[in-house]
Structure 1
Amino acid sequence: MNTSAYEKDPRVDAYIDALPSWQQVLCRRLRDLAHAADPELIETIKRTVQPYFVLEGNVCALLAARDHVNPFVYDGAIVDDPHGLVTAGHQNSTARTIGFREGDAIDEPVLLEFLRQVVANNRAGGWRAIKGLR
């Protein structure tokens, strides 16, 4: 994937660059996949330091912890997960997390499909509109 094909926020670079090397590699790949979900996706920083990827609403955020990295996927609760990507947040009414530890492989086609569904839901008005709550 051509990583120069999207505009990078230097604050996201700073967040990733401060992580241990294995998390840097993982976060850079997750960043590329988020942007591959839709060329109009924009990256930014929210909540002071967290990288967010947005398009007509939040799509996902990167959350690095001591021993893992979570893409926090917004509206993941209304996206089909037949491959079992979601590892936590099952009780959350909309968002889910997908946890990765050092050495874990990313099922890139499956994650990309998942993120594309989130983007499609955002373009359709978001989870409230989809669930008829507006």
Structure 2
Amino acid sequence: MSYVADPRVDAYIDALPEWQQAICRQVRDLVHEADPEVEETIKRTVRPYFVLEGNICALLAAKTHVNVFLYDGAIVADPHGIITAGHDNKTARTVAFREGEPINAPALIAMFREIIANNRAGGWRKIKRDQQRD
């Protein structure tokens, strides 16, 4: 897969233990596979973000896992039950991956694509407002 990699995201990933690097690289590839227009950036000083007309997700490596924060306002379906935290969060939910755990790539790509579609429709905040009006 070919995409424009932000060297600051490379630096973040390269500084991690090998098992976390592998998770971050796979998630990075999956978000770009979801839409070739996805861009990479750094926000909050060092955290990798993936954006397209709004935030899609961010990476945060912790001691025992890697968190993928999904910026979806808790409106994106999770039929495979991959969300691990933030079920009631108004802004983002989390999928945590631990060493040796497989990534459900089809489920994650589907969520990325839905977040991107919501971003293109004005963002999850607008969608929630519109739903409340109905």
Measured against the shorter chain, the TM-score band is over 0.9
Match of 1:27 in 2: 24
> Within 5 A, what are the aligned runs for 1:1-16?
2=1, 5-16=2-13
Q: CA deviation at 1:94?
A: 2.6
Match of 2:85 in 1: 88
Runs of 4+ residues deviating >6 angstroms: none
Kindly indicate which of the two structures has a greater share of residues assigned to strand.
2
Q: CA deviation at 1:58?
A: 0.3
Contact 1:76 1:118 in 2 (8 A): no
SS of 2:129's equivalent in the other structure is: coil
Q: CA deviation at 1:69?
A: 0.2
CA shift in 2, pair 1:68/1:61, >3 Å: same
SS of 1:69's equivalent in the other structure is: strand
Query: Please, which runs of 5 or more residues in structure 2 have no aligned partner?
Result: none
- 1:25-66, Cα deviation, whole Å (9 max, x unpaired): 110010000111111100000000000000000000001001
Match of 1:65 in 2: 62
Q: CA deviation at 1:76?
A: 5.1
Question: Does residue 39 of structure 1 match 2:36?
Answer: yes
Structure 1 distance, partners of 2:23, 2:129, is 36
Find 1:107's aligned residue among 104, 107, 117.
104
SS of 1:25's equivalent in the other structure is: helix
Q: How many residues align?
A: 131
SS of 2:85's equivalent in the other structure is: coil
Question: Does residue 121 of structure 1 match 2:118?
Answer: yes
Match of 2:94 in 1: 97
CA shift in 2, pair 1:76/1:23, >3 Å: farther
* CA-based RMSD: 1.3
Q: TM-score, normalised by structure 1?
A: 0.94
